């Protein structure tokens, strides 16, 4: 992902709740980009905190997004569920690595950058027409 972690109008899926959640996830991506591990206990705790934020906000977002897509009868829901499961599996790997002392900000940033482009900017855009006029 490039170094621009600012929300852009073209990132909108046309639903205020989902856009707000995507903005929060983008902010966490920005936090990852700015993170530097100096080997101190506080630095390592900061990385764990970022990972926990990623897990918490993604879980909350996935639940809300999946519920909304069910309500509108989105035909590619199974694909969304699969992508969400893949994200969760990858994040668990990062969490386990961090618990075992492996702090790899570059790998995490690379993963999140790909996720942002492939999932949010591509996959999620396919459901825009389904959720634009739905009250959340």
Is 106's pLDDT higher than 80? yes
Domain ranges in the chain are 14-131
Sign of CA dihedral 5, 18, 54, 57: positive
**Could you tell me the pLDDT band of residue 49, with boundaries at 50, 70 and 90?**
very high
Alpha helix locations (H) across 77-125? 77-99, 105-115
Q: Most distant CA pair in the chain: distance in Å?
A: 49
Main-chain dihedrals φ then ψ at residue 15, nearest 5 degrees:
-135, 120
pTM of the model: 0.88
Statement: residue 129 has pLDDT above 60: yes
Query: How far, in Å, CA of 120 to CA of 136, rounded?
Result: 19
Predicted confidence (pLDDT) at residue 36 exceeds the cutoff of 80: yes
Architecture label for domain 14-131: Up-down Bundle (1.20)
Long-range residue pairs from 91-96, CB within 8 A, at least 24 positions apart, any chain:
91/51, 91/54, 91/55, 91/58, 94/51, 95/51, 95/55
What pLDDT digit, counting tens, does each position of 60-101 carry? 999 999 999 999 999 999 999 999 999 999 999 999 999 998
pLDDT computed for residue 114 by the predictor = 92
* pLDDT value at residue 133: 66
């Amino acid at each position: 992902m490039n170094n621009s972690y600012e929300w852009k109008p073209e990132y909108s899926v046309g639903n205020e709740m989902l856009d707000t959640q995507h903005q929060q996830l983008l902010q966490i991506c920005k936090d990852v980009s700015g993170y530097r591990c100096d080997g101190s206990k506080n630095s390592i705790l900061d990385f764990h905190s970022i990972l926990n934020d990623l897990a918490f906000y993604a879980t909350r977002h996935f639940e809300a997004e999946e519920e909304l897509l069910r309500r509108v009868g989105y035909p590619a829901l199974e694909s969304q569920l699969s992508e969400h499961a893949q994200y969760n599996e990858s994040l668990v790997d990062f969490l386990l690595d961090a618990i075992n002392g492996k702090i790899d900000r570059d790998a995490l940033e690379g993963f999140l950058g790909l996720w942002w482009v492939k999932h949010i900017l591509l996959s999620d855009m396919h459901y825009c027409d389904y959720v634009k006029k739905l009250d959340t």
